[in-house]
Amino acid sequence: MATPSRSVIRAKAPLRISFAGGGTDVPPFPEREGGLVLNATINRYAYGTLRPREDDAIQIDSHDFGMSAVFDVHEPLVFDGKLDLAKAAVRRFAGRDTRGFDLHLHSNAPPGSGLGSSSTMMVALIGLLKEHRNLPLTDYELADLAYSLERKDLGIKGGLQDQYAATFGGFNFLELFGDRVVVNPLRISPDVVLELEYNLLLCYSGTTRDGGRVIEDQTNRLQHGNEDTVGALRAQKELAVEMKNALLRGRLADFGALLDSAWQAKRRMSDRISTPRIEQLYEEARKAGALGAKVTGAGGGGYLLVYCGNGSKHKVAARMLDLGADVEEIAFEPEGLRTWRVHDT
C-alpha cells in the first residue's frame, strides 16, 4: 500500500456565475473607485490530480486542451502558450527538494465559457501543489496567489473575482480596493436558493470568446475617460448592491429584473461584449417570458444566464433549443476549493 507521502492528491474547485459588478474588479477601476461584485459558485468544476513520481520528471496532461508537456523539475520553464497556467504554478512551488509528479487536469466547462474556468483551474492547481509541499496558505493567500500568477506573472488580462469565488465558494459579495479584496459570504435562505435554481437557465451561445480582447477594449475606454464605460461601471456597483439586497430579502422577481438592468449596463462597457448571436438569444428569451438575462463573463460569447420566472422556464428553454443553443439547469455549490488524498493503486 502506498505511504501517505506518496498518496495521490486530488482537487476540486467550483466555477462561478457573476450576477452584477463584473468589470469593476478589473484594474484600474478598483484602484480608482473601488469595485463591488455579486457572484455565486455552481455545480461545474475544475479538477486536478497530482501523482508523485520517483524521478525528477513532471508531466502535465490537460484534457480540456488536449495537450501534454513533460520537463525536468529543476530545468527553467518555457512559457510558450502551452499549459502556461500549470507551468506558472509549478514554478512558484518547486523547491530544491522537489521530486517529479504527474498532473492531470480537466473541467466540465469549455475554456472561454465565461464561467471563470481558467482562474478556477489555477486555484485547483495551487490547492494540489500546496498539499504536495505541505505549505500553509489561508484562503485569502491562496486566492491572491492565483490572481498574481495569472494576471501578473503570465499577463493574462482579467479581474480579481474568479480566484476568490473558486477559493471561498458559495454566494459572495466582494469589495475590492486596489489589489485588496474583502469576501462577504451571504446567508441566503435555502428556499430562496432553491427557487433561484428553479428559475435560472444557462444557455450556451455555441461560441467561446477571448475575454482578454474584451477586457483590453474596456480598459482602454476607461483610461480615456469614455463616459459610457465609466457610467456603466458605476451602475454595475449600484446594481450589485441592489441585487444582493433582493437576494437577502427573497425578492426574486426584483432580482430577475435587476439581472436585466445589469446586462443593459454591461453592454455599454465595450462594443465587444455583445454579438449578434447573443442579442438574438437575449431577445428571444425575453419574448418567451424571461424577466432578465446577461452574459456570464467578459462577453463576446460563452453562456447567457437567464432568469425565467412567471412559469416561463419551459417556454424559454424550448425557444433556446429551437435556436440551436445548449440549455442547462444549474445548482449552486456552497463549498469552495477542496483537496483530499487517496492511496495510489
For the chain, the domain total comes to: 2
In a domain, 232, yes or no: yes
What pLDDT does 4 receive? Answer: 44
The enclosing domain of 131 has a CATH number of 3.30.230.10
Task: State the catalytic residues.
Answer: 162
| Pair 295, 114: CB distance under 8 Å | yes
- Residue finishing a domain among 159, 187, 215: 187
Tell me how far apart the alpha carbons of residues 152 and 39 are, in angstroms, rounded to a whole number. Answer: 23
In a domain, 136, yes or no: yes
Q: Are residues 161 and 209 in the same domain?
A: no
What pLDDT does 1 receive? Answer: 35
* End-to-end CA separation in angstroms for the chain: 8
Tell me how far apart the alpha carbons of residues 72 and 58 are, in angstroms, rounded to a whole number. Answer: 6
The enclosing domain of 233 has a CATH number of 3.30.70.890
Q: Are residues 199 and 153 in the same domain?
A: no
In a domain, 86, yes or no: yes
In a domain, 338, yes or no: no
What pLDDT does 329 receive? Answer: 94
Q: Are residues 267 and 320 in the same domain?
A: yes
Q: Are residues 27 and 144 in the same domain?
A: yes
Question: What is the pLDDT of the chain when averaged over all its residues?
Answer: 90
The stretch 157-175 carries a mean pLDDT of 95
- At residue 211 the predicted structure's pLDDT band, cuts being 50, 70 and 90, is low
In a domain, 344, yes or no: no
Range of the domain at 132: 4-187
User: To which H or E segment does residue 78 belong?
Assistant: none
pLDDT at 125 over 60: yes
